[in-house]
Amino acid sequence: MTATSFQSAEATADKDGLIHGVSAQELQILGEQCIEAKGKAYCPYSLFRVGASLLLNSTITPAPNHWSDTYPLSHVLTGANIENAAYPVGTCAERVAMGTAVHLGHRIGSFKAVGVSTDIEEFCSPCGMCRQYLREFLSLETPIFMFNREGKFIVRTMGELLPLSFGPDVLPPREQLRKAQEEDKAKTA
Ligand code: THU
């Protein structure tokens, strides 16, 4: 396979050459891995292949579990879309990748960047369901790199893709909600 040189379609690198904290070398790995993952898509219905890659913060080691023995820990985890004859049952690449990572023990704080790759000219961004799924485990500052078929990319943060989002940090402690509901009930009794 000839190496793709990934080019930003927009000016985004800072004076140190980083894009949202991601180095050129990390970007190369992120891009290559989501393209490779795309090759493993199961999409006989749409023929629309999507690959996703998750760059892990090297300082984070997931909690060991039964998968750790089977799959060596690496700095990038991947996924591809997996369709189903019952169409709505199909799963997007981003959720396959993130589900794998979470099952391996990763949580919020584990992820440095996300890559998404397709076969089209346009920059394909994660669907609404995937944005919410990713939001559970990414910080709002995490960059999501969207690669087109030529290796050009645009990048947006999680917060930009899902503004005013609902996440685990928004949920108050259950006890607080229980108390508020009991107070409401007492008022109407
Ligand atoms: N798909 C993804 O995997 N990720 C996205 O963000 C958009 C859509 C998949 C779902 C389906 O298998 C195919 O692309 C066509 O919608």
Question: How does DSSP assign 8-64, residue by residue?
Answer: ESS----TTS-BTTB-HHHHHHHHHHHHHHHTT-B-TTT----EEEEEEPTT--PPP
Residues in contact with ligand 1 (CB, 6 Å cut-off): 43, 46, 48, 50, 81, 83, 90, 92-94, 126-127, 130
From the CA of 92, how far away is ligand 1's center (Å)?
A: 5
The pLDDT of residue 66 is 54
Each residue's pLDDT tens digit, 129-158: 999 999 999 999 999 999 999 999 999 999
pLDDT at position 72: 45
Hey, which residues are catalytic here? 94
Mutate to test the pocket of ligand 1, among 81, 94, 125 (most ligand atoms within 8 A of CB): 81
Give pTM, 2 decimals.
0.89
Could you report the per-residue pLDDT of 16-65, keeping only the tens digit for each? Answer: 999 999 999 999 999 999 999 999 999 999 999 999 999 998 755 555 55
The response to whether 65 counts as a known ligand-binding position is no
181: exposed, middle or buried (Cβ count in 10 Å: 0-12, 13-18, 19+): exposed
What is the reported pLDDT for 152? 96
For residue 45, the ligand 1 atom closest to its alpha carbon is 12
Q: 47, 50, 133: which to mutate for ligand 1, most atoms within 8 A of CB?
A: 50
- pLDDT of residue 75 exceeding 90, the answer is no
Residue 81 among known ligand-binding residues:
yes
Q: From the CA of 50, give the closest atom in ligand 1.
A: 3
Residue 19 near residue 13, CB atoms below 8 Å = yes
- Quick one: angle between helices 93-103 and 24-38, nearest 10? 110
pLDDT tens column, 99-119: 999 999 999 999 999 999 999
148 appears as a binding residue in the annotation: no
122 CA distance to ligand 1 middle (Å): 14
pLDDT at position 1 is 56
Q: Which protein residue's CA is at the shortest distance from atom 6 of ligand 1?
A: 126
